[in-house]
Structure 1
Amino acid sequence: MAAGQDVRLGDGRVLHVYDSGADATAALTLVWHHGSPQTGAPLPPVAEAAAARGIRLVSYARPGYGGSTPRHGRDVVSAADDVVAVADALGVGRFAAMGASGGGPHALAGAARHPDRVIGAVTLAGIAPYTEAFDWFDGMRSPEALRAARLGRAARARFAETEEFDPEQFLPVDLAALEGRWASLGADAGHAADLGPEGLIDDDVAFASPWGFELAEVAAPVLIVQGEGDRVVPRRHAAWLLAHLPNASLWMRLDDGHVSVLDTVPDAMDWLLARLG
């Protein structure tokens, strides 16, 4: 994976971008939407799986993360134009999107707003839009941050002043994953947290507010991957996504939690290649 580079947008903002490089033989270009919090730097298991399949992998830091200009008040759909601007700067035409956890909604946003560019999407342990049709917080081990986000950015920022990580969010299988194959994810999340809470605050407010698009607008094929035991984003969110996305499939992983479910990344890439490659 090439070193990061800055892409300057028309409004003057900068997005920090990573690109494995153009290749005329690439089977597919895949944009990775990182979780919350992360720096946007490509995670080795994702990069390795893409390289093994001849996939060009692009990732970028959302505003407020990893060197990208903050954009307070951003909604989820704002990522759609950002990612297309990144694609344009890299000379990428059509591409697929894959998002983990907080990246999931942003992967769907591009498919909703730019169906001519985003031709398929995968969301792994991705949160659903806020709704009162079911208890959106039910099953979350630590919902306090998102509850604060429902009250607005100022309330979420105040919560960040005393926020503490709750390891009970993770199943034993998640902790094992963070000690092994996905150790890079934990390290990157820690690095993102050290750089400050701005990106995470803005993510949470965006998740808990209207996203700026409807799931029904996502016509492209979508794969939803969910861990049955997930205590961060409960299984009910995946069921809601499945019921409201027009062209979605669900892989329910009975033994997985929020992190271990990422072991499906290679298989999810194969799913995209079978439909789009």
Structure 2
Amino acid sequence: MLFYGGHMRAGLTLGEEVFTEAGCSVLVPSRPGYGCTPVTTGRSATGFADVTAELCAHLGITRVTAAVGVSGGGPTAVALAARHPDLVERLILQSAVGPLPWPDRRTYRGAQVIFASRTESVTWALVHTIVRHTPDAALRLLLRDLTVLPVRQVVAGLRPEHRATALTLFSRMRSGHGFLNDLADLRTGPDLKRLLAEVSQPSLVIAARHDGAVSFAHALELQAALERAELVESRADSHFVWFGDDWAVIADRVRDFLLSDRRP
């Protein structure tokens, strides 16, 4: 069960092959406000975790190999594992928001303007135009806040396949009402701390120190708060751990984790 982060929805893919190669099927629901999911459908991380459990029951799914949370989707995966332990066997968090204040004030205020209901479509129309006509400029613009390294260095170091993946994603992303809903919900750190304390499943936390969107400190807090967590540090240059030169090694670790029998 895979929960993507901001600006992502069902139909966009990033790194899912690591799960399918381990023999798992992947179910990706659009979180509240993204894709075709109304923002009122389980508006909070805990609310949507409960909706997801109802979806599994409706589909006849009684066991999920792992709840996977990416970036802003991390708290929803945590909530699903905490509130529905009989459903979820493992927890995997990738570049995930943890129990620290997020986002910073500048990001929060900027998002209120450029992703508001009246401006969101214009913002993404402009982004999609830049991606089509000046891809290098688009990558520099969009990766700037996703890395702590000089963005030109990061763009220059992208492999062709990673460059193509990033441009494809950026050309199809939308925020809908989801991103502002995320920002409102993710500012409630104390609730996430409580949920993390209730997770009993084995957990794998994957993060990069060069992540400029969700700092590595979040990963350290997640590891400390989870009872049975392993932290895997990525050498990626940005928020996209899948683009790191060590992703093949990390992917092997993910597959081993998925295939291991580590239930209490």
TM-score in terms of structure 1 length:
0.71
Counterpart check, 1:243 vs 2:219: no
Share of identical aligned residues, percent? 26
Q: CA deviation at 1:115?
A: 0.8
Q: What is the deviation of 1:275?
A: 3.4
Q: Which residue of 2 aligns with 1:269?
A: 255
AA at the equivalent of 1:145:
T
The Cα shift of 1:180 comes to 1.9
Question: 1:42: Cα distance to partner?
Answer: 5.1
**Deviation of residue 40 (structure 1)?**
1.9
Aligned-pair CA distance for 1:177:
5.2
The aligned residue for residue 46 of structure 2 is 77
1:255-266 to structure 2, matched below 5 A, reads: 255-261=236-242, 263=247, 264-265=250-251
Gaps of 5+ in 1: 1-30, 149-154
Which residue, 99, 104, 107 being the options, matches 1:145?
107
Task: Kindly indicate whether the alpha-carbon contact (under 8 Å) linking 1:76 and 1:109 is maintained by their aligned counterparts in 2.
Answer: yes
- Distance (whole Å) between structure 2 residues aligned to residue 85 and residue 182 of structure 1: 37
1:201 maps to a residue whose letter is L
- Please report how far the alpha carbon of residue 174 of structure 1 lies from its aligned counterpart in structure 2 after TM superposition: 7.0
Per-residue displacement from partner, 1:94-137 (whole Å, max 9, x unpaired)? Answer: 11111211122211110111111112110010011245xxxx66
Is this contact kept in 1: 2:92–2:203, CA < 8 A? yes
2:238 and 2:34 map into 1 onto residues whose CA distance is 25
What's the secondary structure of 1:224's corresponding residue? strand
Code of the residue aligned with 1:168 in structure 2: it is: R
Kept in 2, the 8 Å contact 1:61–1:68? The answer is yes
Question: Structure 1 or 2: larger strand share?
Answer: 1
**Aligned pairs (5 A) from 1:2-41:** 31-41=1-11
One-letter code of the match for 1:197? G
Q: Which residue of 2 aligns with 1:199?
A: 178
Q: CA 1:246–1:76 in structure 2 vs 1: closer, same or farther (change >3 Å)?
A: same
Shift of 1:211: 6.6
2:31 is the alignment partner of 1:62: yes
Whether the 8 Å CA contact 1:130–1:207 is kept in 2: the answer is no
Structure 2: stretches of 5+ with no match in the other structure: 124-140, 148-152
Q: What does the per-residue CA deviation read over 1:6-51, in whole Å, with 9 as the maximum and x for residues that have no partner?
A: xxxxxxxxxxxxxxxxxxxxxxxxx1111211022251641x3333
Q: Deviations over 1:119-163 (max 9, x none)?
A: 2110010011245xxxx66xx7xx5233x4xxxxxx964453578
State the 1:254 CA deviation: 3.6
The secondary structure found in structure 2 opposite 1:236 is helix
Q: Is the 8 A contact 1:33 1:60 kept in 2?
A: yes
Match of 1:11 in 2: none
Alpha-carbon RMSD across the aligned residues, in angstroms, is 3.0
Do 1:124 and 1:261's aligned partners in 2 also have CA atoms closer than 8 Å? no
C-alpha displacement of 1:274: 1.6
Residue number in structure 2 paired with 1:98: 68
Contact residue 125 and residue 261 of structure 1 kept, 8 A = no
Alpha-carbon distance, 1:272 to partner? 2.0
Shift of 1:189: 4.8
> In the alignment, which residue of structure 2 is the partner of 1:224?
205
| Correspondence for 1:168 among 144, 147, 151 | 144
- Asked if the contact 1:226/1:261 (under 8 Å) is kept, the reply is no
Q: In 1, distance between residues paired with 2:81 and 2:198? A: 8
User: In 1, are the aligned partners of 2:205 and 2:230 still within 8 Å (CA)?
Assistant: yes
| TM-score normalised per structure 2 | 0.74
1:15 paired residue number = none
User: Alignment partner of 1:61: what SS?
Assistant: coil
Q: Distance in 1 between matches of 2:46 and 2:145?
A: 27
Residue type of the alignment partner of 1:107: A
Greater helix share, 1 or 2?
Answer: 2
- Of 107, 120, 125, which aligns to 2:90? 120
